[in-house]
A = this chain, B = another copy of it.
């Protein structure tokens, strides 16, 4: 993109951003239905009493996806008091739009994937920023997939700034952390927030980056699911998958800021909690067998693993 052209471009409006997010939801849903091959999405349109609304879409009991949600919303109105405090702002009116995805696959060798892209305005647009990210939670970590996933993210980020991937990868490691388990939720990915205009990056630059992240979702999920969705797994591995989903529940209900905001502000509860797994298990003090892929997985649920340069061949699936 040519630097001098920036000044000639009109700043993308909140309406244009919301419309693009809506088209992203359509595009991702269409492609996920093709990938799944067995089920389609059920749509619920909802309105927010304070202003705006959304389109929640859920796919259940598919061939690839056991339960998945792809939600779009665009809401506005007076900012609730607790959100003002959390954001440390005084402004009264806000606008927020975004797409949120959580997919719980059937096969434990396919990871849980989460993506969120969002845009936020205060003071009628005077203050505005983008946020979002993609992260994956493998039930069983396959290093070559973890490496391919992080490489895909790095390439997407590097097209916009060499600073993005290292910064946003660390942000994801720190954010998706289950403190009481001393485990990361998964192998991370990228997480970013409050990407506003700077001398280096215009509003439109930020939007283009967020669009690139949104558009990377399907190819990433194809890469992570196509090779693995038909792999045989044992009954023990199915139980392990359900226990890992239990950890996902723990993270989302105890730590996730988006979930907390939704619950605190009386959001549409079924849309907020679409991230909950279809089935989850808690076994008291379960310890995987030494040397098993389950035990190795626990070792890989740590911050600051350099997945880009991981050898990647040690999973027996290379």
List residues 214-256 of chain A with CB under 8 A from any CB of chain B: 242, 246, 249-250, 253-254
**Option from B246, B263, B280, B285 in Cβ contact (under 8 Å) with A180:** B263
Q: Which of A270, A273, A277, A282 has the most CB of B within 10 A?
A: A282
CA distance A263 to B278 in the complex (A): 25
**Option from B60, B273, B284 in Cβ contact (under 8 Å) with A67:** B284
CA distance A114 to B44 in the complex (A): 36
The verdict on A289 contacting chain B, using a C-beta distance below 8 Å, is no
The verdict on A157 contacting chain B, using a C-beta distance below 8 Å, is no
Asked whether A242 and B44 contact (CB < 8 A) given A180-B269, A253-B253, A270-B285, the answer is no
Q: Is A263 in contact with B254, judged by CB distance below 8 angstroms?
A: yes
Q: Which of A242, A280, A284 has the most CB of B within 10 A?
A: A284
A165 to chain B, nearest CB (A): 32
Chain B positions within 8 Å of A67 at CB level = 282, 284
A301 to chain B, nearest CB (A): 15
Q: Number of A interface residues at 8 Å Cβ cutoff, please give it.
A: 32
Q: Is A253 in contact with B263, judged by CB distance below 8 angstroms?
A: no
The verdict on A103 contacting chain B, using a C-beta distance below 8 Å, is no
The verdict on A101 contacting chain B, using a C-beta distance below 8 Å, is no
Chain B positions within 8 Å of A270 at CB level = 284-285
CA distance A80 to B92 in the complex (A): 37
Asked whether A281 and B284 contact (CB < 8 A) given A253-B253, A253-B254, A263-B254, the answer is no
Q: Is B282 in contact with A273, judged by CB distance below 8 angstroms?
A: yes
Chain B positions within 8 Å of A280 at CB level = 249, 279-282
CA distance A284 to B56 in the complex (A): 10
CA distance A278 to B180 in the complex (A): 19
Q: Is A281 in contact with B279, judged by CB distance below 8 angstroms?
A: yes
The verdict on A213 contacting chain B, using a C-beta distance below 8 Å, is no
**Option from B254, B277, B282, B283 in Cβ contact (under 8 Å) with A282:** B277
Chain B positions within 8 Å of A263 at CB level = 179-180, 254
CA distance A253 to B276 in the complex (A): 13
Q: Considering the complex, give the chain B residue whose CB is closest to the CB of A67.
A: B284
Q: Mark A252-273, 1 if CB is under 8 A from B, else 0.
A: 0110000000010010011011
Q: Mark A6-17, 1 if CB is under 8 A from B, else 0.
A: 000000000000
A103 to chain B, nearest CB (A): 13
**Option from B60, B276, B285 in Cβ contact (under 8 Å) with A246:** B276
Chain B positions within 8 Å of A246 at CB level = 276
Given contacts A58-B284, A180-B266, A181-B269, 5 further A-B contacts (CB under 8 A): A179-B263, A242-B279, A273-B282, A278-B283, A279-B280
A-B contact pairs, 21 of them (CB 8 A): A42-B284, A44-B285, A58-B284, A60-B283, A67-B284, A69-B284, A179-B263, A180-B272, A249-B280, A250-B253, A254-B254, A270-B284, A270-B285, A273-B282, A274-B284, A277-B282, A278-B281, A279-B279, A279-B280, A280-B280, A280-B281
